[in-house]
Amino acid sequence: MCCAPAVHFWLLTALLKLSEAFNVDVKNGLSFSGSVDDMFGYTVQQFENEEGKWVLIGSPLEGQPTRRTGDVYKCAVNGQSKCTKVNLPESTTIANVTEVKENMTMGSTLVTNPNGGFMACGPLYAYRCGSLHYTTGICSNVSSTFQVLNSIAPGVQECTTQLDLVIVLDGSNSVYPWFSVTEFLQKLFQKMTIHPSQTQVSIVQYGENVTHEFNLNTHSSTESVLRAASKIKQRGGSSTLTALGIDTARKEAFSEERGARRGVKKVMVVVTDGESHDGYRLPNVTGECDRDGIETYAIAILGSYNRGNISTENLVNEILSIASKPKEKHFFNVSEELALSTIVESLGERIFALEATSEQQAVSFEMEMSQTGFSAHYSKDWVMLGAVGAYDWNGTVVMIKSDDIVIPGNNSFKTMAQEKNEPLAAYLGYTVSSASIYGEQIYIAGQPRHNHIGQVIIYQMDGRKINILQTLKGEQVI
């Protein structure tokens, strides 16, 4: 399943490629121009506020090459043909998630609000939970004065992948060169989403005594941890009190005062290059770690032993005794310090695997890939947001009122109980609309790939319930 999103991103990208900048209001000869590469003009809306008349123009690939987020331009209809960017991506934001706004295609959906203001969406807006990437989409509710009033992303859920990770580093004199250790830390942390709601990390350095370099609650972003990790100095020391280091990490670094969260998976990574001088304590100390539910990865650096032509057998046995079971999954050895970064990939993967398996809904394909805001429509009472990626690309239509959000369940739009359904992504929500018939509000949504021929569903809302009135089938096989 991992690779399906790419195909569907391609679909939107291909659609975007069909558009180019163009003129509006030919009669008066007004023309607004922008970059073809940015897809300037992919969407256009007439707009009016207290200041006068405007044309809103979506530019979903705006910000190339490095900050390609898309945006909407406001162009005053006053003969000057000047357009300014509204800067929606900056203020369209969801708290407490690690957002990926790059490539969000803001402005690929643009509808005016009959009560003033407008709504613009970036269906490829994503956020990260650990190593997982969810493309939920986001919409921006913009006032008539171009202020973002609120951001709408019903598919975003708090990440449930949480880890408290403590690195226990041997900083004794024999570890050389030290920069290979900080480089290893950098490469490892780069792969993580460090945030108080996700992974937290702490570093403890030991030799003859123990130092807390930083606590689990010291840093709240990956960037901040990377900066701190690059500055860690080797504290040296002529003895290696590994048991003391591990015991201090267990008792102190994993304490709530230092930011450990109750009920969150505890992971320790011990990195050392020599046999300990307090090895007699190790059986007791590692037993206590087991008791506390700490999962321990142990990394043996064989560098100083190899340089001194000393047998590594005792060291390897000691480090193996520190590693959690199954040993082969929790033990790493490297021939020298410089080789540390070669194990980042597999160490990272094993830690991330923990992240995923400790949680129930790692990849459930409900709204995580929904691309909510692929289409949008203001009806009298509900705002309709097409979410083509919902339910493994069956798609759905999210309904929004000022005081209510309805995300229909996976069966709400099922229309063919008796017929055989092709197991094909139907893309419900590709287009959305509404109509008023005899004073009754009805909603209309297209699912172009339904059973290869496409279908239009016409429905009503009974409170929060979807009532399907009619379906219209397509004729052409696509």
Ligand X SMILES: *[C@@H]1O[C@H](CO)[C@@H](O)[C@H](O)[C@H]1NC(C)=O
Footprint of ligand X (CB under 6 A)? 95-96, 100, 102-103, 141, 149-150, 152, 196, 208-209, 284, 287-288, 291, 302, 309, 312, 316, 333, 365, 383, 391-392, 394, 400, 402, 409-411, 414, 421, 423
Q: How far is the CB of 442 from ligand X (least distance, A)?
A: 20
Q: How far is the CB of 423 from ligand X (least distance, A)?
A: 6
Q: How far is the CB of 438 from ligand X (least distance, A)?
A: 26
> Angle at CA 46, nearest 5°, toward 108 and 68?
25
Q: Which two tokens stand for residue 233?
A: 């100095």
Report the residue number whose CB is nearest to ligand X. Answer: 287
| Spatial contact of 149 and 215, defined as CB atoms under 8 Å apart | no
Residue 117 CB neighbour total at 10 angstroms: 18
As a whole number of angstroms, the distance between CA 377 and CA 109 comes to: 10
Q: How far is the CB of 415 from ligand X (least distance, A)?
A: 9
Question: Would you say 83 or 282 has its CB closer to ligand X?
Answer: 282
Q: How far is the CB of 370 from ligand X (least distance, A)?
A: 11
Q: How far is the CB of 217 from ligand X (least distance, A)?
A: 11
Question: Would you say 31 or 96 has its CB closer to ligand X?
Answer: 96
Q: How many CA within 13 A on the CB side of residue 230?
A: 8
Q: Which two tokens stand for residue 129?
A: 């939970």
Order of strands, sheet of 83-85, starting from the edge strand that comes earlier in the sequence: 43-49, 52-59, 71-76, 83-85
Q: How far is the CB of 29 from ligand X (least distance, A)?
A: 35
Between β-strands 52-59 and 71-76, what pairing exists: parallel, antiparallel or unpaired? Answer: antiparallel
| Spatial contact of 81 and 106, defined as CB atoms under 8 Å apart | no
As a whole number of angstroms, the distance between CA 137 and CA 363 comes to: 17
Q: How far is the CB of 23 from ligand X (least distance, A)?
A: 29
Question: Would you say 176 or 365 has its CB closer to ligand X?
Answer: 365
| Spatial contact of 356 and 364, defined as CB atoms under 8 Å apart | no
Question: Would you say 83 or 106 has its CB closer to ligand X?
Answer: 106
| Spatial contact of 269 and 299, defined as CB atoms under 8 Å apart | yes
Between β-strands 148-152 and 138-142, what pairing exists: parallel, antiparallel or unpaired? Answer: antiparallel
CA distances from 299 to 49, 168, 327, 334, 341 (A): 64, 10, 11, 8, 12
Q: How far is the CB of 236 from ligand X (least distance, A)?
A: 8
Question: Would you say 416 or 435 has its CB closer to ligand X?
Answer: 416
Question: Would you say 23 or 335 has its CB closer to ligand X?
Answer: 335
Concatenated DSSP letters for 134-159? E---EEEEE-TTS-EEEEE-TT----
As a whole number of angstroms, the distance between CA 288 and CA 420 comes to: 58
Q: Which two tokens stand for residue 457?
A: 């569903």
As a whole number of angstroms, the distance between CA 343 and CA 354 comes to: 17
Q: How far is the CB of 289 from ligand X (least distance, A)?
A: 9
Q: How far is the CB of 233 from ligand X (least distance, A)?
A: 13
Kindly state the DSSP code that residue 380 receives in the 8-state scheme: S
As a whole number of angstroms, the distance between CA 364 and CA 356 comes to: 12
Rounded to the nearest 10 degrees, how much is the dihedral formed by the CA atoms of 168, 172, 176, 180?
Answer: 20
Question: Would you say 187 or 449 has its CB closer to ligand X?
Answer: 449
Question: Would you say 79 or 423 has its CB closer to ligand X?
Answer: 423
Question: Would you say 278 or 392 has its CB closer to ligand X?
Answer: 392
Question: Would you say 78 or 150 has its CB closer to ligand X?
Answer: 150
Between β-strands 294-301 and 331-334, what pairing exists: parallel, antiparallel or unpaired? Answer: parallel
Question: Would you say 196 or 348 has its CB closer to ligand X?
Answer: 196
